[in-house]
Structure 1
Amino acid sequence: MKKVEIFDPAMCCSTGVCGPSVDPELTRVASAVYSLEKKGYDVKRYQLTNDPEKFAKTQTVNSVLHEKGPDALPVVLVDEQVVKVGTYPTNEELAEWLGVKAEELTEKPKVRLSLNIKKQ
């Protein structure tokens, strides 16, 4: 199984989906990653603010940052190889890399709710 790692720029929270104005692209990526993780795929996100040691220890990402600076983020690796710099992967790219259908990354979670109402 392939491993996808997304190295995010510094953000206010782990997904970037917070604050008064949320970037729809970050919402899409967070949703796709969540869907993939729930299905058992090896997809990880690292954020510069929260995981600086991961950025320093990952030579390929470290090289991109030294060469292009922090504006190169996000950096996306598939099996430790740089596949994308400066933009997030599309759902189609994630699907292709992991061998799933792109539609699976946009499915809304199905929540079952049961109520036990007692008459009084």
Structure 2
Amino acid sequence: MADELGAFAAYLQPVAFPTGYPAVIPGEDGQQMSDEGIPPHPELVERLVQHFSVVTATRLGPDDDYFVMGLVNSLRALEIVAYLERTFDFEIDIDDLDLDNFRTARRAAAFVTRKCGTAVDGGTSR
């Protein structure tokens, strides 16, 4: 696991994308969707916005890319991964370690929804 996390940390170097490049295809209404077409629960998105706002010491919106904003480094990214695993009781596989799964609260919520297989609400935790 340590080798996988080290590889993920190395992968998280800032990357500049051309303006307007959609790394994740949104649903018809602009929502990030799970593989099953389920948008993340609004309470889950808000819960993650609040958590990420605390860890970055910045008031964030659901679509603020804290990596592009320079608020998250590779160590903080690993803390985000560990928080999601611990809070929602699942394991993040090496194939899941795609920066696009974690770059905003809404994307992280869509990822949690995909991993849990249902629409997770904001109250789900261990």
Higher helix share: 2
Instruction: Determine if the TM-score, normalized by the shorter chain, exceeds 0.5.
Output: no
Higher relative contact order, chain-length normalized (CA < 8 Å, sep 6+): 2
**Which one has the largest radius of gyration?**
1
Higher strand share: 1
- TM-score by length of structure 2 reads 0.28
